[in-house]
């Protein structure tokens, strides 16, 4: 894994993709904010909060960098749109992405990673139906010990087909399993129709 300093952050990458740590901010309980530099030396990443800010801060004090993933050369658009969420209880990431199955079928895959971004189990499917699931996003609700994976869905991915927002609960912990798929926003079923 290579590290490179870029504007307002650090990028870690290999030949398949990587992570960006950008725009770190210290925030105290009163909402006071301070932009922080993100530095890397050898194999250590550091974000330092100045002592003067800490001395005047009302606790709790949070350091919040923006973490994003990216993919390099996935080959003929076979995979894409990675997203990730952290679960504090299990100390694991859940990473999601789409994978092209056919011209009219795209599926959503996921994998759990430990805090050092090493896989803790094999990738698994969030959607492996004949519907076209695309552009996944994932969020974590630590109190309930699960993630919510959502995606834009259509019958076959063509512009003529209406789209809706589908979702699935993925439980935390290795081998945690998943709930049933459900509609979040779909014309005539629940809420408004999804994005066209």
pLDDT exceeds cutoff 50 at 195 = yes
pLDDT exceeds cutoff 80 at 19 = no
pLDDT exceeds cutoff 60 at 105 = yes
* Residue of 136, 137, 134 lying closest to 156 (CA atoms): 134
pLDDT tens column, 30-59: 999 999 988 877 777 888 999 999 999 999
CA-CA distance, 173 to 190, in Å (whole number)?
30
Report the pLDDT averaged over residues 71-81. Answer: 62
Whether the pTM exceeds 0.85: the reply is no
């Amino acid at each position: 894994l290579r590290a490179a300093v870029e504007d307002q952050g650090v990028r870690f990458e290999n030949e398949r993709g990587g992570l960006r740590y950008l725009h770190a901010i210290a925030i105290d309980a009163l909402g006071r904010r301070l932009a922080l530099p993100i530095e890397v030396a050898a194999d250590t990443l550091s974000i330092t909060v100045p002592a003067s800010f800490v001395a005047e801060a009302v606790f709790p004090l949070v350091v919040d960098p923006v973490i994003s993933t990216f993919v390099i050369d996935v080959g003929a658009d076979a995979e894409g749109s990675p997203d990730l969420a952290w679960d504090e209880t299990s100390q694991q990431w859940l990473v999601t992405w789409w994978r092209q199955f056919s011209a009219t079928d795209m599926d959503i895959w996921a994998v759990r990673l430990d805090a050092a971004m090493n896989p803790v189990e094999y990738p698994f499917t969030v959607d492996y139906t004949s519907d076209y699931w695309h552009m996944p996003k994932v969020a974590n609700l630590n109190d309930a010990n699960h993630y919510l994976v959502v995606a834009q869905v259509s019958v076959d991915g063509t512009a003529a087909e209406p789209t809706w927002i589908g979702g699935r609960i993925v439980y935390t912990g290795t081998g945690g399993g998943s709930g049933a798929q459900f509609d979040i926003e779909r014309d005539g079923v629940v809420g408004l129709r999804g994005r066209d």
